[in-house]
Structure 1
Amino acid sequence: MTTADTGVSTMATHQTAPGTDTAPAAAATTAGNRTAALRRRLAAQLLFELVLPLGSYYGLRAAGAGQWLSMVAGGLLLLPWIGYGIVRRRRVEAMAVFSLSLVVVGTLLSLVSGSPRVLMIRDSWLTAAIGLWVLGTLLTRRPFIMTASRGIVIAKVGEAGLVEWEARWDAEPTFRHHLRLVTAVWGAVFLLDAVLRVVLAYMIPVDAFPLTSTVLWLALLGGLLTWHNWYLTRHGMKL
């Protein structure tokens, strides 16, 4: 399962980067570097949050390890990634602490119950919490998509372009409506993923769950991103 940052695509308007026809090449290079950095971060998230946990589970099972140990090992692989994020940003983020707590609490609960299915629904707590948080931002002045897209907008149009883009929130009711609608859909999809994971955890064999839940998440995320880009394009809100 990926974190909230994974899969968050652009939320912006059709506009060109501010400046003149003689804008320095350095600005374009900087924007390109920012975009490349975003892509590297996404690739790292996919590796540590999807590929390694899934590969470790089935690798350990093939080596004869039990279901519980194989599932716990996949969760422990997230710890270096979470620690790296804290060190790199030089601050402790709420999402990192929450993810770490899920690994610890899920492992402890599974020790008490002796059931690997307790570990299987661990990610459901995370996606449900994210979904509720995303929907909760609808009550604020800056819904989830508004804030999540800032880095991408800066990468494409720079700081000045970001100021212009954010100013539309106060000036255009239609702009606010579109951002709130997209935010609501994102929150609903995260909640749907949480519910479906719990259903799967108690309906399919344990060994089938890691792959099935990963495919489920990728399918939901792929459908969400496809709709997201279609909606923004249709309403003229893409850069």
Structure 2
Amino acid sequence: MDKRQLIKDLLWDVGLPTVVFYLCRALGLEALPALAVGGLAALARVGYVAVVRRRLNGLAALVSATFVLLLAASLLTGDPRILLAKESILAGAAGLLLVGSCVVGRPIVYAVIRRLDDAERWEERWRTEPALRRHFTTLSLVMGTGLLLDAVVRGVLICLLPIDTMAGLSMALHVATLALLAVWVLWYRGRRVTR
């Protein structure tokens, strides 16, 4: 998939539920039904993309399953903030996975690269190159910490700010965090290459 298609998909994935939420609110729906309709629109997009591309994105399926679980919890409690916290929960889980992988074994970023390339060659490099181990550990720790901070900050803001404010702000903060992490990764890779 080229970069333009990736950015276009990201804009659809981020923008669609937010636009649908605010449209529903403008039409007079309460916060919880508006969030639910926005989430269902995103779920419909996942289904549409799966049918058109004939492939279900594993991450999209995880996000969809999380939405369904949190929608049920929101409906049972009547608290729309639970559903609004979906991205924070997912970011926190990803952050814990990234940081935890450094503590209990090999960094997950290394594991992903190893699976995409010649595993034996990567294993040999892992065993013999301390700089490579530091590189992947640093990548995983920084990205994981960034995602954990993002999740905590947005979680606190979801509790403190009005739902209508956080429906858009939460996603904007998450996209900003991902953009900052992407810029950092590019800087860090460039720094390693020039050394």
Which sections of structure 2, spanning at least 5 residues, go unmatched?
Answer: none
- Which residue pairs with 1:59 in the alignment? 23
| TM alignment of 1:119-134, pairs within 5 A | 119-134=83-98
CA shift for structure 1 position 90? 5.5
CA shift for structure 1 position 123? 2.1
2-structure distance, mates of 1:201, 1:190: 16
| TM alignment of 1:82-231, pairs within 5 A | 82-83=46-47, 88=53, 93=58, 95-138=59-102, 139-141=104-106, 143-149=107-113, 168-231=125-188
Which sections of structure 1, spanning at least 5 residues, go unmatched?
Answer: 1-36
2-structure distance, mates of 1:235, 1:120: 39
1-structure distance, mates of 2:19, 2:162: 18
Structure whose CA Rg is larger: 1
CA shift for structure 1 position 205? 1.0
Q: Which ranges of 4 or more aligned residues in structure 1 deviate by more than 3 Å? A: 80-93, 95-98, 147-151, 162-168
Q: Give the counterpart of 2:37 among 73, 90, 111.
A: 73
Contact 1:48/1:77 (8 A) holds in 2: no
Q: Structure 2 length as normaliser, TM-score?
A: 0.82
Contact 2:91/2:147 (8 A) holds in 1: yes
CA shift for structure 1 position 47? 3.0
Higher helix fraction (1 or 2): 2
Larger RCO: Structure 1 or Structure 2 (Cα < 8 Å, ≥ 6 residues apart)? 1
Percent identity between the aligned chains? 34
Give 1:113's aligned amino acid. Answer: T
Give 1:192's aligned amino acid. Answer: L
Q: SS of 2:64's equivalent?
A: helix
Q: CA RMSD for the aligned pairs?
A: 3.0
2-structure distance, mates of 1:38, 1:137: 29
Q: Structure 1 length as normaliser, TM-score?
A: 0.69
Contact 2:114/2:122 (8 A) holds in 1: no
